[in-house]
Each structure stands twice: as structure tokens, then as C-alpha cells.
Amino acid sequence: MTAMVPTADIDSGSGTAPLLQVRDLVTSIKGRKSDVAAVDHVSFSVSRGEIFGVVGESGCGKSMTALSILRLIPVNAAITGGAILFDGVDLTTLNERAMRSIRGNRISMVFQEPMTALDPSFTVGTQITEVIHAHSNVSKAEARERAAQMLDRLGITNAASRLDSYPHQFSGGMRQRVMMALALVMNPQLLIADEPTTALDVTIQAQILDLIAELRRDMGLSVLLITHNLGVVHEIADRVAVMYAGEVVEIGPVQQIFANPQHPYTQGLLRSMPYLTDRQDRLYVIPGRVPELRAMPSGCRFAARCRNRIPICTQRHPQLVENEPRHALRCFNPTPYVD
């Protein structure tokens, strides 16, 4: 028996109020003629101490969702609907000043590009201590001390002397640790990591992921982990939302989604993962492309690329429906997964 549920109710099931609740979020990009929704009625929640993954192909709205939470979306975009409840407060209603006191302090973000995300002209020490000074009243010496401790905590040797180095004197992996240091130095409740490992090579990638898992364990950090790599999600996330063309198409605990993926798109993503199959010879690729924002089909957005398509798929827009406890999907014709 399946039932339609308000999607925000699909949470970790821990019983306590989630730390972050994104409800029916709509983020639109302003166009010359009309606006288009890059994030379209997206709902999910992140519990305290939970690592929540968001996956999907390039352009499906993952970054836009993350940037909406911190209200750092591009100038030509705007949050046009929904609510973002963080610790009970709707972030969409806060003024800039209140929002600034949350950024880098209670919610932090690390980005994909460790090569360009740091200011090239200032030392790493300055870039970390200025976060501390922005959010607390401490002496310069104490801020430096805390910055050094954080770098040390994140596995940078000679932390105190490295404070005076410039970003270009660090390798990519080390730079990503510096990014994490300035994100975590204020001990935030939520870390948003937007493809934090994509630009790094595999060993470094594993180190950074281990680090995130460890921080969650030690600091009780909640993490919103954005990636296009299901392997990363499988490794460290508790729950995952699969996004397609601005919508959540499947959401649930990682174990369930990997054991029993229901949505044809999720199944396609799984099939195209290199190291979960033995078929190293020919990597599966989902045929076709994500539809343009301006040319979004009115029926199922995945229909053009779907092997399960039935007539209703192009006529009506499927809703997100819970098919087993805490596991929901947006599909008229789900079938069991065959590899």
C-alpha cells in the first residue's frame, strides 16, 4: 500500500526535530521573458549528527539547493517559495545581518574548487582567523592559536608555521583541508560540502571523506554532502536524496536505496557506477541528457531517457510517494532493480 505524504515528513525517523528542514523550496532563475525553477519544490531534512547526501547529474540543481540554504545564490536567482528551517528558524525570512551571523558560524560551506576557493593574496592564517574575528570577540593571539589547533586537527603538520603560508604554497588536498579548517573553526552545527572531493585524486578523496566521517563522530556535526558520485554517498552518508532536473526523485536511507533502488534514474546512476559492478569493460551511461530548464516537460522529467516509460508518464507529473517507510520516489512505473 502506497500513500502520498507531505515530502518534508520523510526524515531520518529519529523522532527528534531535525536540525535542518528544507520544505518545498523553489529557487528560480530570472529570465528575460519568464523565470525558471532550478530548484523545484525540494524537501528534505537533516538530523543532528546525520550525513545527508544529495546526488544527481551535473545541472540538476544540487549546488543551487545548497547555496539557497546559505542564501548565497547568484544575483540572477531568487528563492521564490518554500521554507528553510534551521534549528526552528526560517532562514528565508532573516535579514542580511542575521544571515551573516549564521554563515561560517552555525552553518559552513566548503566548495568543490580548492584551487580557487581561497583568496590568493592573503595567508591561510589570516583567512582562518578572520572567520573567528567575524563571529567572536577574541584577541589576535587567541584567534591564531585556535586557527593553528584547527589546522592541526585537520591533519596539517607544522600547523602554527603554516599559518603564514599563502594558498599557492599548499597542494590541492591540503588546500581542501584549509577550506575545511576555516569552515569548522567556529564549530558549526551544519557543514554543507558541495562536491568537496571531486577535484581531488582518489587517495586524497578518501582521506577527506574519512575526515568528514570522523568529524561527525567527534563533533556531532551534521553534514549535507553534495556529490554526483553515488560511491561517496554509499561510503559515508546515512540518507540520500536523488535529484533530477531540479526535483527530488527518490529519497531514503542509503542502505535501502542501494539494496532496493526504485526509481529508473537512481537505477541508471547505480548502473553507471564503475566499482559496484564487475563489468569493467563497458561503463553504462544513461542515454540522453537532462532537459533544459526552459524546456521542462510537463509530465515526468526523466521520461525521454527512461526505459520504463508508459503512456501516463508524458501526460502527468508524478508526485513523490512513500513506497516503504522513510523511502519515497517520484515514478509511475517503478520496477525492481536488475543490474
Partner 1 sequence: MARTIVYRSLYAVLLLIAASFLVFYGMRLAPGDVAEVLASHPTGQMTVERIREDLGLNRPVFVQYGTYMRELLSGNLGVSLVTGEPISEILRTSASYTLRLAVLAFLLSIGLAIPLGALAAWKRNSLFDQGTMLIAVIGMGIPNFFLAVLLIQLFTVRLGWLPVAGYETPKHIIMPALVLAAEALAINLRVVRSSVLEELGRDYVRTLKAKGLSNRRILWLHVLRNSLPPVIALAGIMMRTLLGYTLIVETIFRWPGLGYQLVNAVLKRDYTVAQTLAILLTAAVIIFNALADLLQQWADPRTRGKAGA
Q: Does 264 bind ligand SF4 (CB under 6 A)?
A: yes
Nearer to partner 1, 100 or 317 (CB): 100
Q: Does 227 bind Mg ion (CB under 5 A)?
A: no
Q: Does 313 bind ligand SF4 (CB under 6 A)?
A: yes
Give least dist CB 134 to ligand ATP, A.
26
Cell, residue 266? 537512481
Cα 52 to Cα 21, 222, 272, 283, 313, distances in angstroms: 12, 8, 21, 27, 29
Nearer to ligand SF4, 228 or 301 (CB): 301
Cell, residue 295? 524546456
**Buried b / exposed e along 274-296 (16+ C-beta atoms within 10 A):** eeeeeeeeeeeebeeebbebeeb
Cell, residue 28? 528560480
Give least dist CB 331 to ligand SF4, A.
3
Rounded to a whole number of angstroms, the distance between the first and last alpha carbons of the chain is 26
Nearer to ligand ATP, 56 or 252 (CB): 56
Q: Does 244 bind ligand SF4 (CB under 6 A)?
A: no
Nearer to partner 1, 102 or 242 (CB): 102
CA–CA separation, 168 and 165 (whole Å): 8
> Which among 112, 118, 177, 171 is positioned nearest to 150, based on CA atoms?
177
Provide the β-strand partners of residue 321. Answer: 4, 329
Give least dist CB 316 to ligand SF4, A.
9
Alpha helices by DSSP H, listed for the chain, are: 62-69, 96-102, 124-135, 140-153, 159-162, 172-184, 202-219, 230-236, 254-259, 264-271, 312-315
Q: Does 302 bind ligand SF4 (CB under 6 A)?
A: yes
CA–CA separation, 333 and 205 (whole Å): 36
Give least dist CB 149 to partner 1, A.
18
The Cα angle at residue 119 between residues 116 and 122, in degrees rounded to 5: 145
Binds 335: which of Mg ion, ligand SF4, partner 1, none (CB < 5-8 Å by kind): none
Give least dist CB 330 to partner 1, A.
31
User: Which residues ranging from 251 to 270 are in contact with Mg ion (CB under 5 A)?
Assistant: none
Give least dist CB 338 to ligand SF4, A.
15
Binds 309: which of Mg ion, ligand SF4, ligand ATP, none (CB < 5-8 Å by kind): ligand SF4
Nearer to ligand ATP, 151 or 237 (CB): 237
Window of 10-18, 122-130, 213-221, 326-334 that interacts with ligand SF4 by CB under 6 A: 326-334
CA–CA separation, 68 and 27 (whole Å): 7
Q: Does 269 bind ligand SF4 (CB under 6 A)?
A: no
- Could you say which of 18, 53, 56, 252 contacts ligand ATP (CB under 6 A)? 56
- Could you say which of 7, 12, 63, 266 contacts ligand ATP (CB under 6 A)? 63
Cell, residue 160? 602554527
- Could you say which of 16, 34, 58, 157 contacts ligand ATP (CB under 6 A)? 58
